[in-house]
Chain A
Amino acid sequence: ETGVTQSPTHLIKTRGQQVTLRCSSQSGHNTVSWYQQALGQGPQFIFQYYREEENGRGNFPPRFSGLQFPNYSSELNVNALELDDSALYLCASSAVGGGRTDTQYFGPGTRLTVL
Protein backbone atom coordinates (compact mmCIF):
# COMPACT_ATOMS: atom_id res chain seq x y z
CA GLU A 1 0.00 0.00 0.00
CA THR A 2 1.46 3.34 -1.07
CA GLY A 3 1.30 6.16 1.43
CA VAL A 4 0.69 9.84 0.78
CA THR A 5 3.33 11.40 -1.46
CA GLN A 6 4.03 15.04 -2.18
CA SER A 7 6.12 16.91 -4.73
CA PRO A 8 8.36 18.74 -4.86
CA THR A 9 10.21 18.28 -1.59
CA HIS A 10 11.59 21.80 -1.54
CA LEU A 11 10.80 24.92 -3.53
CA ILE A 12 12.18 28.44 -3.62
CA LYS A 13 10.13 31.24 -5.14
CA THR A 14 10.19 35.02 -5.12
CA ARG A 15 7.47 37.33 -3.89
CA GLY A 16 4.64 37.76 -6.39
CA GLN A 17 5.21 34.46 -8.16
CA GLN A 18 2.78 31.56 -8.34
CA VAL A 19 3.37 28.00 -7.14
CA THR A 20 1.71 24.60 -7.57
CA LEU A 21 2.20 21.80 -5.07
CA ARG A 22 1.11 18.24 -5.72
CA CYS A 23 -0.18 15.39 -3.61
CA SER A 24 -1.03 11.76 -4.29
CA SER A 25 -3.40 10.31 -1.75
CA GLN A 26 -3.07 6.92 -0.12
CA SER A 27 -4.60 4.07 -2.07
CA GLY A 28 -8.36 3.82 -1.42
CA HIS A 29 -8.65 7.35 0.02
CA ASN A 30 -11.04 9.83 -1.60
CA THR A 31 -10.52 12.87 0.62
CA VAL A 32 -7.54 15.21 0.64
CA SER A 33 -6.84 18.04 3.08
CA TRP A 34 -4.12 20.66 2.87
CA TYR A 35 -2.39 22.32 5.83
CA GLN A 36 0.17 25.08 6.24
CA GLN A 37 2.74 24.65 9.00
CA ALA A 38 4.80 27.72 9.79
CA LEU A 39 8.09 27.22 11.58
CA GLY A 40 7.56 26.26 15.21
CA GLN A 41 3.77 26.11 14.85
CA GLY A 42 1.09 23.48 14.47
CA PRO A 43 -0.48 22.84 11.06
CA GLN A 44 -3.30 25.18 10.03
CA PHE A 45 -6.16 23.87 7.88
CA ILE A 46 -6.31 25.41 4.40
CA PHE A 47 -9.06 23.38 2.68
CA GLN A 48 -10.37 19.91 2.00
CA TYR A 49 -11.46 18.16 -1.20
CA TYR A 50 -13.88 15.27 -1.37
CA ARG A 51 -14.72 13.64 -4.70
CA GLU A 52 -13.29 16.60 -6.64
CA GLU A 53 -15.31 19.26 -4.76
CA GLU A 54 -14.08 21.67 -2.11
CA ASN A 55 -15.55 20.42 1.15
CA GLY A 56 -14.56 23.17 3.55
CA ARG A 57 -12.05 25.96 3.88
CA GLY A 58 -10.01 27.49 6.65
CA ASN A 59 -9.10 31.12 7.15
CA PHE A 60 -6.95 31.54 4.04
CA PRO A 61 -7.39 34.12 1.25
CA PRO A 62 -8.71 33.21 -2.23
CA ARG A 63 -5.20 33.27 -3.69
CA PHE A 64 -4.92 29.81 -2.10
CA SER A 65 -6.84 27.46 -4.39
CA GLY A 66 -6.93 23.77 -5.10
CA LEU A 67 -8.04 20.96 -7.32
CA GLN A 68 -8.75 17.29 -6.88
CA PHE A 69 -8.58 14.92 -9.84
CA PRO A 70 -10.61 11.79 -10.64
CA ASN A 71 -7.80 9.61 -9.25
CA TYR A 72 -8.11 11.65 -5.99
CA SER A 73 -4.69 13.26 -6.33
CA SER A 74 -4.69 16.98 -5.59
CA GLU A 75 -2.97 20.27 -6.24
CA LEU A 76 -2.54 23.34 -4.08
CA ASN A 77 -2.02 26.59 -5.98
CA VAL A 78 -0.87 29.80 -4.37
CA ASN A 79 -0.89 33.03 -6.38
CA ALA A 80 0.88 36.31 -5.66
CA LEU A 81 3.25 34.74 -3.14
CA GLU A 82 4.05 36.69 0.01
CA LEU A 83 6.98 36.28 2.37
CA ASP A 84 4.61 34.92 5.05
CA ASP A 85 3.68 32.03 2.75
CA SER A 86 7.04 30.45 3.56
CA ALA A 87 6.11 27.26 5.38
CA LEU A 88 5.86 23.48 5.22
CA TYR A 89 2.75 22.51 3.25
CA LEU A 90 1.24 19.21 4.29
CA CYS A 91 -1.24 17.08 2.45
CA ALA A 92 -3.33 14.48 4.26
CA SER A 93 -5.68 11.87 2.88
CA SER A 94 -8.51 9.96 4.48
CA ALA A 95 -10.92 7.25 3.46
CA VAL A 96 -14.39 8.29 4.31
CA GLY A 97 -15.01 11.87 3.22
CA GLY A 98 -14.51 13.32 6.65
CA GLY A 99 -16.37 12.53 9.84
CA ARG A 100 -15.66 12.82 13.52
CA THR A 101 -13.70 9.58 13.72
CA ASP A 102 -11.82 10.03 10.46
CA THR A 103 -8.08 9.47 10.59
CA GLN A 104 -5.96 11.55 8.26
CA TYR A 105 -2.62 10.27 6.98
CA PHE A 106 -0.01 12.86 6.20
CA GLY A 107 2.58 13.14 3.48
CA PRO A 108 6.15 14.31 4.13
CA GLY A 109 5.35 17.88 3.07
CA THR A 110 6.72 20.47 0.67
CA ARG A 111 8.99 23.12 2.13
CA LEU A 112 8.25 26.43 0.38
CA THR A 113 10.59 29.37 0.80
CA VAL A 114 9.53 32.77 -0.54
CA LEU A 115 12.31 35.34 -0.99
Chain B
Amino acid sequence: GDSVTQMEGPVTLSEEAFLTINCTYTATGYPSLFWYVQYPGEGLQLLLKATKADDKGSNKGFEATYRKETTSFHLEKGSVQVSDSAVYFCALISTSGTYKYIFGTGTRLKVLA
Protein backbone atom coordinates (compact mmCIF):
# COMPACT_ATOMS: atom_id res chain seq x y z
CA GLY B 1 0.00 0.00 0.00
CA ASP B 2 0.91 3.66 -0.18
CA SER B 3 3.25 4.94 2.50
CA VAL B 4 5.37 7.91 3.60
CA THR B 5 8.73 7.71 5.35
CA GLN B 6 10.24 10.67 7.17
CA MET B 7 13.57 11.13 8.84
CA GLU B 8 13.40 10.53 12.55
CA GLY B 9 13.73 13.40 14.94
CA PRO B 10 14.21 15.29 16.95
CA VAL B 11 16.18 17.71 14.84
CA THR B 12 17.88 20.43 16.89
CA LEU B 13 19.29 23.50 15.12
CA SER B 14 20.58 26.90 16.05
CA GLU B 15 18.70 29.95 14.83
CA GLU B 16 19.56 30.88 11.22
CA ALA B 17 20.78 27.37 10.40
CA PHE B 18 19.76 25.54 7.23
CA LEU B 19 17.00 22.96 7.58
CA THR B 20 16.38 19.80 5.62
CA ILE B 21 13.77 17.21 6.61
CA ASN B 22 13.78 14.19 4.35
CA CYS B 23 10.60 12.58 3.07
CA THR B 24 10.22 9.69 0.65
CA TYR B 25 7.05 7.99 -0.48
CA THR B 26 5.72 4.81 -2.03
CA ALA B 27 2.56 5.10 -4.07
CA THR B 28 0.75 3.77 -7.08
CA GLY B 29 -0.16 6.44 -9.56
CA TYR B 30 0.78 10.08 -9.11
CA PRO B 31 -0.18 11.36 -5.68
CA SER B 32 -0.21 14.96 -4.56
CA LEU B 33 2.30 15.66 -1.78
CA PHE B 34 1.98 17.88 1.27
CA TRP B 35 3.85 19.22 4.26
CA TYR B 36 1.82 20.01 7.36
CA VAL B 37 3.08 21.61 10.59
CA GLN B 38 1.74 20.99 14.09
CA TYR B 39 2.50 23.39 16.92
CA PRO B 40 2.16 22.19 20.51
CA GLY B 41 -1.45 21.57 21.49
CA GLU B 42 -2.80 22.43 18.06
CA GLY B 43 -4.12 20.72 14.94
CA LEU B 44 -2.32 20.46 11.64
CA GLN B 45 -1.72 23.47 9.42
CA LEU B 46 -0.97 23.17 5.73
CA LEU B 47 2.54 24.43 5.03
CA LEU B 48 2.88 23.70 1.31
CA LYS B 49 1.88 21.27 -1.39
CA ALA B 50 2.82 20.04 -4.87
CA THR B 51 0.51 18.18 -7.22
CA LYS B 52 2.77 16.92 -10.01
CA ALA B 53 6.35 15.98 -10.74
CA ASP B 54 8.91 18.84 -10.61
CA ASP B 55 6.41 21.18 -8.92
CA LYS B 56 7.92 23.26 -6.13
CA GLY B 57 5.71 24.17 -3.19
CA SER B 58 6.75 27.12 -1.06
CA ASN B 59 5.43 29.11 1.90
CA LYS B 60 6.94 31.19 4.72
CA GLY B 61 10.47 30.50 3.51
CA PHE B 62 9.95 26.73 3.34
CA GLU B 63 10.30 24.87 0.05
CA ALA B 64 9.88 21.32 -1.22
CA THR B 65 10.19 19.90 -4.74
CA TYR B 66 8.24 16.89 -6.00
CA ARG B 67 10.90 14.47 -7.32
CA LYS B 68 9.25 11.59 -9.09
CA GLU B 69 12.54 9.90 -10.04
CA THR B 70 13.63 9.62 -6.41
CA THR B 71 10.07 9.53 -4.95
CA SER B 72 11.02 12.30 -2.56
CA PHE B 73 9.61 15.57 -1.25
CA HIS B 74 12.26 16.95 1.11
CA LEU B 75 11.44 20.07 3.13
CA GLU B 76 14.04 22.86 3.23
CA LYS B 77 14.42 26.29 4.77
CA GLY B 78 17.44 28.51 4.41
CA SER B 79 17.36 30.14 7.84
CA VAL B 80 15.22 28.76 10.66
CA GLN B 81 13.79 30.77 13.52
CA VAL B 82 12.85 29.80 17.06
CA SER B 83 9.20 30.16 16.02
CA ASP B 84 9.66 27.29 13.51
CA SER B 85 9.93 24.83 16.39
CA ALA B 86 7.12 22.33 15.78
CA VAL B 87 6.41 18.86 14.41
CA TYR B 88 6.44 18.56 10.62
CA PHE B 89 4.44 15.90 8.77
CA CYS B 90 4.90 14.80 5.19
CA ALA B 91 1.75 13.39 3.57
CA LEU B 92 0.37 12.18 0.28
CA ILE B 93 -3.12 11.72 -1.08
CA SER B 94 -3.57 8.06 -1.83
CA THR B 95 -5.06 7.45 -5.27
CA SER B 96 -6.02 3.86 -4.39
CA GLY B 97 -9.71 3.84 -3.51
CA THR B 98 -10.80 6.77 -1.32
CA TYR B 99 -8.71 9.88 -1.68
CA LYS B 100 -7.37 9.78 1.84
CA TYR B 101 -4.26 11.34 3.30
CA ILE B 102 -1.40 9.09 4.37
CA PHE B 103 0.98 10.72 6.82
CA GLY B 104 4.52 10.07 7.88
CA THR B 105 5.30 9.73 11.57
CA GLY B 106 6.40 13.35 11.89
CA THR B 107 9.73 15.04 12.59
CA ARG B 108 10.11 17.24 15.62
CA LEU B 109 12.18 20.38 15.05
CA LYS B 110 13.65 22.38 17.91
CA VAL B 111 15.37 25.68 17.12
CA LEU B 112 17.60 27.19 19.77
CA ALA B 113 18.20 30.94 20.11
Interface residues of A (CB under 8 A from B): 4, 6, 33, 35, 40-45, 48, 55-58, 90, 92, 98-109
Picked from B30, B49, B95, the residue with its CB within 8 Å of the CB of A103 is B49
A98 touches B98 (CB 8 A): yes
Cβ of B17 < 8 Å from any Cβ of A? no
Picked from B32, B43, B91, the residue with its CB within 8 Å of the CB of A100 is B32
CA distance in complex: A100, B34 (Å): 11
Within 8 A of A (CB), among B75-113: 89, 91, 93, 95, 97-106
Interface residues of B (CB under 8 A from A): 4, 29-32, 34, 36, 42-46, 49, 51, 89, 91, 93, 95, 97-106
Q: Which residues of A contact B29 (CB under 8 A)?
A: 100
CA distance in complex: A57, B98 (Å): 8
Q: Which residues of A contact B31 (CB under 8 A)?
A: 100
CA distance in complex: A55, B99 (Å): 9
Q: What residue of chain A has the Cβ atom nearest to residue B41's Cβ?
A: A108
